[in-house]
C-alpha cells in the first residue's frame, strides 16, 4: 500500500530568509534588490509549485550490517556504513519518493534562457528547498503513524548521499509503480523533475533521529550541507577573532 500526500506550497513554510541564506546572504543583511525578487519568487512559486509524494512500507528487511547488504521487496541494495548504522535494527523500512513538480524547474530554465539568470537561480533555490521540505513533511507523516504503534523512525537517507550510489535509485523506483507522482529516471538514474527526492527511512522500537550530520556526507552540492558548513566556518572565524 502506498501512502500518498499532496501539499500546498504554503504548507512548506519557506521563508525569504531561508532562500537568502541558501544564496549566501546573512539574514539581517540581504542586499537590494534581492528581498523584492525573493518575495516575488515565493509568490509565483505558491501558484506553480505542486508538492506531492508518498511512501511504501516493507516489513522484515534482511540487513547484513557487515557487508551493507539490504534485501527487501525482491531487491538487493548495497548500503554504506553510515546508512546501515542508522537502520540495522529496523523491523521495517519505508521507501519514499516526492517532488516539488516540474513547473518550478521550467520557470527557472525559462528565466535563465531569457537573460534573467538571477531570478532563474532564485527559482532554482526555491525548488530545492521545496523538494527537501516535501520530504520532511512526508517523514513527519510517517513518524506520526509509527508513533501510534509505539515505534520510532530513523533519519531519511537518499541514494547519492552518504556515499550511497545514486545508481541504486533505480532499484528504489522499481518498488513503486512506473512514473509514480510523475517522476521518471534518466539513464544516469537521476530524477526528473529535477526537484525531487527519494530515499529510505528505518522503522523500529529502538531507532532515533540524529538530524543532519554533514560530516557523514561529502556531497558539496547539498543545500543543507552548504548552510551548515557556512555556519561552521563563521563560528571558527569568530573564535579566531576573539
List pLDDT tens digits, range 152-191: 999 999 999 989 999 999 999 999 999 999 999 999 999 9
Give the count of domains, the chain: 1
- Percent of the chain having pLDDT more than 70? 87
Neighbour order of strands in the sheet with 152-157: 2-6, 52-59, 92-99, 196-204, 152-157
Predicted confidence (pLDDT) per residue in 66-115, tens digit: 999 999 999 999 999 999 999 999 999 999 999 999 999 999 999 999 99
Question: Is residue 231 a part of any domain in this protein?
Answer: no
Residue 25 forms part of a structural domain: yes
59 forms beta bridges with: 92
- Residue-level pLDDT at 210: 82
Q: Residue 115: how many CB atoms within 10 A of its CB?
A: 8
pLDDT digits (tens, 9 = 90+) for 192-222: 999 999 999 999 998 988 876 555 555 555 5
Give me the pLDDT at residue 211, please.
76
Q: Which pLDDT score, from 0 to 100, does residue 29 have?
A: 87
- Sign of the CA dihedral with 207 first, then 209, 210, and 212 last: positive
175 occurs within a structural domain: yes
Name the DSSP letter for residue 193.
S
Closest listed residue to residue 107, CA positions, set 186, 42, 169, 163:
42
Answer whether residue 236 is part of any domain.
Answer: no
Task: Report yes or no on 184 lying in a domain.
Answer: yes
In this predicted structure, the answer to whether residue 39 has a pLDDT above a threshold of 90 is yes
CA pair distance 227, 114, nearest whole angstrom = 29
Q: What is the CATH number of the domain that holds 176?
A: 3.40.109.40
Cis peptide before 77 (omega within 30 of 0): no
Quick check: is 126 in a domain?
yes
Q: Where are the beta strands (DSSP E) in 65-204?
A: 69-72, 75-78, 92-99, 152-157, 184-185, 191-192, 196-204
Locate 102 and state its grid cell. 516540474
Domain that holds residue 174: 2-210
In a domain, 32, yes or no: yes
Query: Vertex 224, ends 193 and 146: CA angle to 5°?
Result: 80
If you average pLDDT over every residue of the chain, what do you get? 90
Amino acid at each position: 500500500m502506498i501512502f500518498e500526500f499532496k501539499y500546498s506550497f504554503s504548507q512548506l513554510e519557506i521563508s525569504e530568509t531561508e532562500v537568502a541564506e541558501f544564496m549566501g546572504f546573512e539574514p539581517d543583511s540581504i542586499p537590494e534588490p534581492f528581498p523584492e525578487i525573493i518575495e516575488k519568487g515565493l509568490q509565483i512559486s505558491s501558484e506553480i509549485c505542486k508538492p506531492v509524494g508518498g511512501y511504501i512500507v516493507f516489513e522484515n528487511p534482511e540487513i547484513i550490517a557487515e557487508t551493507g547488504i539490504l534485501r527487501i521487496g525482491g531487491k538487493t541494495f548495497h548500503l554504506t556504513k553510515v546508512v546501515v548504522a542508522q537502520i540495522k535494527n529496523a523491523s521495517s523500512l519505508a521507501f519514499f519518493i516526492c517532488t516539488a513538480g516540474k513547473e518550478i524547474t521550467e520557470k527557472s530554465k525559462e528565466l535563465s534562457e531569457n537573460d534573467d539568470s538571477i531570478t532563474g537561480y532564485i527559482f532554482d533555490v526555491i525548488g530545492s528547498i521545496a523538494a527537501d521540505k516535501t520530504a520532511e513533511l512526508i517523514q513527519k507523516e510517517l513518524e506520526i503513524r509509527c508513533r501510534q504503534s509505539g515505534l520510532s523512525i530513523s533519519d531519511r537517507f537518499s541514494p547519492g548521499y552518504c556515499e550511497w550510489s545514486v545508481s541504486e535509485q533505480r532499484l528504489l523506483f522499481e518498488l513503486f509503480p512506473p512514473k509514480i507522482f510523475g517522476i521518471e529516471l534518466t539513464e544516469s538514474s537521476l530524477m526528473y523533475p529535477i526537484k525531487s527526492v527519494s530515499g529510505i527511512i528505518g522503522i523500529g522500537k529502538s531507532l532515533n533521529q540524529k538530524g543532519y550530520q554533514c560530516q557523514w556526507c561529502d556531497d558539496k552540492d547539498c543545500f543543507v550541507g552548504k548552510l551548515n558548513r557556512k555556519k561552521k566556518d563563521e563560528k571558527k572565524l569568530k573564535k579566531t577573532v576573539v
